[in-house]
Amino acid sequence: MKLVVLACLAAVAIAAPQSQDVIPVVQVLRDDRQDDGNGIFNYAFETENGIAMEASGTPGSQGQSNMQGSFRFVFPEGNAADVRYIADENGFQPQSDLLPTDHPLPAHVIDLIRMTEELRAAGATWDEQGRRLTR
């Protein structure tokens, strides 16, 4: 009998709701919106935890919305991430110190490219394996 009562208590303890992670409530400090209904719009918002976003848009030449704006958030370590962008006929073009950049080409590669351009200008051609066909 004691074993049955103990098993029932264990089952109730296991079935009890576990504590859920509490989602913090963040206050909105600013929320501005304007939409003219013709494809022209602006919006901006900012929250107390450092998240901010703003954008403005106009109709594009190919039926898309051309937009430009920025967004900002704070990493858990405390430093801020700032991104500015343009989105138009040429696609999404972000700008930020956080984005990776191309490494500069080594000097020998620049020399090889220059030599190849000089050979092409002189009429040289190459096959699919990269072997030069003409001099």
* CA pair distance 27, 33, nearest whole angstrom: 17
In the three-class reduction of DSSP (H, G, I as helix; E, B as strand; rest coil), residue 68 is classed as strand
pLDDT-based confidence at 96, cuts 50/70/90?
A: very high
**Burial call 53-88: b when 16+ CB within 10 Å, e when fewer:** ebbebeeeeeeeebbebbbeeeeeeeeeeebeeebb
State the pLDDT at residue 5.
56
pLDDT score of 65? 87
pLDDT score recorded for residue 60? 87
Q: What is the pTM of this model?
A: 0.57
| Amino acid identity for residue 54 in this structure | E
Please give the helix or strand (H or E) that residue 53 lies within, else none: strand 52-59
Please provide the distance, in angstroms rounded to a whole number, between the alpha carbons at the two ends of the chain: 100
pLDDT in tens, 34-93: 998 888 999 999 999 999 999 999 998 888 889 999 999 999 898 999 999 999 988 999
Is the pLDDT at 7 greater than 70? The verdict is no
| Whether residue 16 has pLDDT greater than 70 | no
Whether residue 21 is predicted with pLDDT greater than 90 in this model: the reply is: no
Question: Does position 4 have pLDDT exceeding 80, yes or no?
Answer: no
Write phi, then psi, for 9 (nearest 5 degrees). -65, -40
